[in-house]
Homo-oligomer: A and B are copies of this chain.
Amino acid sequence: MAAVSLSVSTVQPLGDRVFVKVSAAEEKTAGGIFLPDNAKEKPQVGEIAAIGPGKRNDDGSRQDPEVKIGDKVLYSKYAGTDIKLGSEEYVLLSEKDILAIVQ
């Protein structure tokens, strides 16, 4: 089998999952969010890179996602699965782990 060639554009999340590019640490304080010392690592800022088709309801229909590609979001650092593509860090999250849109 040939090698799997992966890049941002080839990642298609399933269900209610979203694929988020993690913002570098400098960015998080430049704009104004200062995380309290005792919780410094909890909220994280990122940008939506890809979105799944939405959570499936019991009747088979889907819920429209509340975020769109390009949205800057706050999410819990401990949620989801970390993935590195080249030198960039990404995370695969369930949409329910996104706390707020910040821009």
| Chain B residues with CB below 8 A from A13, complex form | 99-100
Number of copies of this chain in the oligomer? 7
Interface residues of A (CB under 8 A from B): 1, 3-7, 10-15, 17, 19, 23-24, 26-28, 30-36, 38-39, 42-43, 45, 47, 50, 52-53, 56-61, 63-64, 66-67, 72, 74, 76, 81-86, 89, 92, 95-96, 98-103
For A3, A15, A95, which residue has the most chain B Cβ atoms within 10 angstroms? Answer: A3
> Contact: A27 with B1, CB < 8 Å?
yes
> Contact: A5 with B76, CB < 8 Å?
no
Given A14-B99, A100-B19, are A81 and B30 also a contact pair (CB < 8 Å)? no
